[in-house]
């Protein structure tokens, strides 16, 4: 296992390297990440490579037992390339050039850029393919971060046309698939098709938009493959990864991760997206990343200080770095690199803080990290070779995520809102859940949750049927089966291909406006104490389908809101609305009890996390107090406290930010 930080040697005087390397050694580090933004330092002018400085830097770390992962510096092509090829700049949907000055300014479909990429990646690989202290390579940096995937330039237009030719073969097939008869949008040739730039109503055909997202995602995967091929041809023994972004959805990360040796993640717990700081969102990032290859993963950037560029976010309080570190390891991280080692004094990220402040003087964060390093030295023998696997899984589908981005149904609604609600249930129940691809093997799970599976093809539908027939339990919810793979609406009664599986038909549906809710009661309840939000389906049971809960207000009062149907040896549940937290907990409690997808033991506090890593017959449990309260827990008898090398007490006390790690 690896533990360390991201280090920007090119930012600091060479005489500082020795001091930093020594401090890292004292903190227990064994890995640093270098060079992912160092192109000009390596190749200031074309073909003139300078590696002596990097050799000296790596030797400085190697003398302290610290190994290196090298970043390919392709996220920020230098100005001398961009001036030579101004067509390489991305263009936005308004046709504006997205110019030089930050990073990710290049077009993934550029015809000129791959030649420069192969040269610098090839030169770096040739130099370091046999270096004993190089662990491997990080490709580029944060593909799909903050609107960096989509480009609307003429190069992309031609590439998109070619992608469509390969998919549809004839223009008539494309017109039929997209339904271009609407609004007189038919095409006579592929060459007439543009990228989806701004239009009058700010609307585009949803099939067209989905294909553009697929094309754009594929373009990033192809760009990554260029670099993987260069590295593998020279250094097949070195590990290749990329730092993905967990819940981000511009790229199909399952496809991006497939050719990598290990998936990578950048995680910033104090920098959540439009929501309060919480332990659930970073937990979801971890679980999603573990699901990209259904294997343990590396964290290439882990928050170590105050995040921010032109503004600052919340500063980590004492104990939080340790708590976040153990959450990461508990959920499957086999490498963890803090971002960053020292806070930059120049550039756009002067306020994105690291372990050391601008002064470079060790402070409280360094002492906390050094304490963690000493603890991890005790834990590594117990964790090496261990994995994370659960009885339940949530199927996260990127194409359905895109479908809801294109057509949110209810204003502002996001596909991931549903995913997060299901995931949070398992967190608060102190058990785990895997987050997996629709292409994954379902057979090892007792319970599958398939949020908003609107777009579905025959192959996946049949796979779900086989899983239930063999004894599995599925939970599906509103819009399931509503769309064909080309993002056309199905012209059959909903839930389309799942009518037999779910034992229902949907006669009508509509939105529940933001801020409003409909009443809901479970079967046997005298009072409707629960709320339903976002959406309602007017469900008609068919066959042996049972009603678990029903609506209790509006014109659809009395209609089922939640149903259960037996199919083969398994069960299929359908939720025709967004359940409030209390209703969802009641339902999933019922389902998890039926399926056995329950925790081995529980804690009486929703913000205390329980995670487990297993290797053979040994299990290592992490009990993490994310709350601001002191919590008493009663762990199973017979466990051994790994950090204090003692038998567990009958009752263990966890202060805020505290962690209990034990093995059985």
Q: Answer yes or no: is 289 within a domain.
A: yes
CA 265 to chain centre: 8
Q: Answer yes or no: is 187 within a domain.
A: no
Kindly state whether residues 271 and 406 are assigned to the same domain: no
Q: Would you say 144 and 191 are in contact if contact means Cβ atoms under 8 Å apart?
A: no
Kindly state whether residues 434 and 334 are assigned to the same domain: no
Burial level of 514, CB count in 10 A (0-12/13-18/19+)? exposed
- Annotated binding site for Zn(2+): which residue ranges? 107, 151, 153, 156
Sheet (strand 264-267) strand order: 239-241, 134-138, 67-71, 31-34, 2-6, 333-339, 297-303, 264-267, 243-244
Q: What is the chain's alpha carbon radius of gyration, rounded to the nearest angstrom? A: 26
Q: Answer yes or no: is 73 within a domain.
A: yes
pLDDT in tens, 423-452: 999 999 999 999 999 999 999 999 999 999
Tally Cβ neighbours within 10 Å of residue 2. 19
Q: What is the pLDDT of residue 435?
A: 98
Q: What is the pLDDT of residue 487?
A: 98
Q: Answer yes or no: is 182 within a domain.
A: no
Q: Would you say 125 and 231 are in contact if contact means Cβ atoms under 8 Å apart?
A: yes
State the CATH number of the domain containing residue 60. Answer: 3.20.20.80
pLDDT in tens, 127-173: 999 999 999 999 999 999 989 999 999 999 999 999 999 999 999 99
∠ CA 196-197-202, rounded to 5°: 95
Q: Answer yes or no: is 183 within a domain.
A: no
Kindly state whether residues 425 and 540 are assigned to the same domain: yes
* Mean pLDDT in residue range 643-649: 95
Q: Decide which of 595, 619, 635 is a domain's last residue.
A: 595
The tokens describing 360, both together, are: 């470079």
The domain total for the chain is: 3
Of the candidates 118, 204, 214, 95, the residue with the CA atom closest to the CA atom of residue 166: 214
Kindly state whether residues 367 and 244 are assigned to the same domain: yes
pLDDT in tens, 290-321: 999 999 999 999 999 999 888 899 999 999 99
pLDDT in tens, 331-378: 999 999 999 999 999 999 999 999 999 999 999 999 999 999 999 999
| Enclosing domain of residue 442 | 392-595
Kindly state whether residues 32 and 110 are assigned to the same domain: yes
State the CATH number of the domain containing residue 642. Answer: 2.60.40.1180
Q: What is the pLDDT of residue 544?
A: 84
Give the span between the Cα atoms of 143 and 149, in whole angstroms.
7
Please say if 301 is a catalytic residue.
yes
Q: Answer yes or no: is 194 within a domain.
A: no
Q: Decide which of 383, 410, 441 is a domain's last residue.
A: 383
The two most distant CA atoms of the chain are separated, in Å, by 79
* Mean pLDDT in residue range 616-642: 95
Kindly state whether residues 550 and 633 are assigned to the same domain: no
Kindly state whether residues 343 and 492 are assigned to the same domain: no
State the CATH number of the domain containing residue 544. Answer: 3.40.50.880
Q: Decide which of 365, 383, 401 is a domain's last residue.
A: 383
Give the span between the Cα atoms of 478 and 585, in whole angstroms.
18
Q: What is the pLDDT of residue 478?
A: 98
Kindly state whether residues 419 and 460 are assigned to the same domain: yes
User: What is the sign, positive or negative, of the torsion defined by CA atoms of 411, 412, 418, 424?
Assistant: negative
Kindly state whether residues 615 and 532 are assigned to the same domain: no
Kindly state whether residues 404 and 275 are assigned to the same domain: no
Q: Answer yes or no: is 210 within a domain.
A: no
Q: What is the dihedral of CA 322, 328, 333, 335, to 10 degrees?
A: -30
Q: Would you say 330 and 299 are in contact if contact means Cβ atoms under 8 Å apart?
A: no
* Prediction pTM value: 0.97
On average, the pLDDT of the chain sits at 96
Among 69-78, 270-279, 402-411, 566-575, whose mean pLDDT is lowest? Answer: 270-279
Of the candidates 558, 450, 574, 453, the residue with the CA atom closest to the CA atom of residue 503: 574
Kindly state whether residues 24 and 93 are assigned to the same domain: yes
- Annotated binding site for substrate: which residue ranges? 103, 141
Please say if 607 is a catalytic residue.
no
Query: Active site residue: 36, 142, 349, 607, which one?
Result: 142
**End-to-end Cα distance, the chain:** 21
Kindly state whether residues 260 and 403 are assigned to the same domain: no
Residue 602 has pLDDT above 90, yes or no: no
Q: Answer yes or no: is 156 within a domain.
A: no
Contacts of 630 (CB under 8 A, 6+ apart): 653, 654, 655, 656
Query: Active site residue: 301, 349, 368, 578, which one?
Result: 301
C-alpha pair distances (Å), 512 with each of 293, 574, 579: 37, 18, 12
């Amino acid at each position: 296992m690896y533990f360390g930080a991201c280090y920007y040697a090119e930012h600091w005087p060479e005489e500082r390297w020795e001091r930093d390397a020594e401090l890292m050694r004292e903190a227990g580090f064994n890995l640093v990440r270098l060079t992912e933004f160092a192109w000009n330092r390596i190749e200031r002018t074309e073909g003139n490579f300078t590696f002596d400085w990097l050799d000296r830097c790596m030797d400085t770390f190697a003398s302290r037992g610290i190994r290196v992962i090298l970043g390919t510096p392709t996220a920020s092509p230098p100005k001398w390339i961009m001036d030579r090829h101004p067509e390489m700049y991305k263009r936005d949907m308004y046709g504006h050039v997205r110019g030089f000055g930050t990073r990710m300014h290049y077009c993934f479909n550029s015809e000129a850029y791959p030649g420069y990429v192969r040269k610098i990646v090839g030169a770096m690989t040739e130099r370091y393919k046999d270096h004993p202290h190089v662990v491997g390579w990080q490709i580029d940096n944060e593909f799909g971060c903050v609107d960096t995937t989509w480009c609307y330039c003429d190069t992309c237009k031609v590439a998109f046309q070619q992608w469509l030719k390969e998919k549809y073969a004839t223009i008539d097939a494309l017109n039929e698939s997209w339904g271009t008869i609407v609004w007189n949008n038919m095409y006579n040739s592929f060459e007439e098709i543009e990228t989806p730039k701004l239009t009058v109503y700010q609307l585009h055909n949803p099939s067209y938009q989905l294909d553009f997202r697929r094309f754009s995602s594929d373009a990033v995967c192809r760009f990554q493959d260029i670099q993987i091929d260069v590295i593998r041809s020279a250094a097949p023994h070195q590990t290749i990864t990329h730092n993905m972004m967990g819940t981000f959805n511009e790229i199909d990360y399952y496809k991006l991760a497939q050719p990598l040796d290990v998936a990578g993640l950048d995680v910033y717990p104090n920098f959540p997206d439009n929501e309060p700081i919480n332990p659930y969102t970073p937990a979801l990032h971890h679980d999603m990343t573990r699901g990209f290859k259904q294997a343990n993963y590396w964290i290439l950037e882990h928050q170590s200080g105050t995040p921010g560029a032109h503004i600052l976010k919340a500063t980590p309080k004492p104990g939080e770095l340790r708590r976040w570190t153990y959450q990461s390891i508990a959920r499957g991280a086999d490498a963890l690199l803090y971002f960053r080692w020292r806070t930059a004094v120049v550039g756009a990220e002067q306020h994105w803080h690291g372990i050391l402040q601008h002064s470079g003087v060790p402070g409280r964060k360094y002492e906390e990290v050094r304490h963690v390093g000493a603890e991890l030295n005790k834990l590594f023998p117990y964790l090496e070779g261990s994995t994370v696997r659960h009885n339940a899984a949530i199927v996260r589908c990127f194409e359905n995520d895109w479908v809801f981005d294109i057509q949110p149904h209810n204003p502002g609604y996001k596909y991931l809102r549903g995913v997060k609600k299901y995931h949070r249930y398992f967190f608060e129940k102190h058990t785990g859940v895997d987050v997996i691809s629709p292409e994954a093997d379902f057979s090892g799970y007792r319970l599958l949750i398939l949020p908003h599976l609107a777009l579905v093809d025959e192959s996946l539908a049949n796979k779900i049927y086989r899983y239930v027939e063999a004894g599995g339990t599925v939970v599906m919810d509103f819009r399931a089966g509503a769309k064909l793979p080309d993002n056309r609406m199905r012209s059959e009664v909903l839930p389309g291909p799942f009518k037999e599986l779910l034992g229902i038909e949907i006669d009508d549906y509509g939105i529940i406006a933001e801020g409003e809710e409909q009443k809901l009661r479970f079967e046997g309840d005298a009072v409707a104490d629960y709320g339903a939000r976002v959406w309602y389906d007017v469900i008609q049971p068919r066959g042996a389908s049972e009603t678990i809960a029903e609506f209790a207000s509006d014109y659809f009062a009395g209609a089922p809101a939640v149903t259960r149907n037996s199919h083969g040896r398994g069960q299929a549940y359908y939720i025709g609305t967004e359940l409030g937290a209390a209703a969802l907990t009641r339902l999933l409690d019922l389902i998890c009890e039926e399926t056995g997808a329950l925790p081995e033991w529980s804690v009486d506090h929703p913000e205390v996390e329980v995670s487990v890593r297993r290797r053979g017959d040994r299990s290592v449990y992490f009990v993490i107090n994310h709350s601001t309260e002191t919590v008493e827990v009663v762990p199973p008898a017979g466990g051994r406290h790994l950090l204090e090398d003692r038998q567990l007490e009958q009752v263990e006390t966890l202060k805020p930010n505290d962690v209990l790690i034990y093995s059985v």
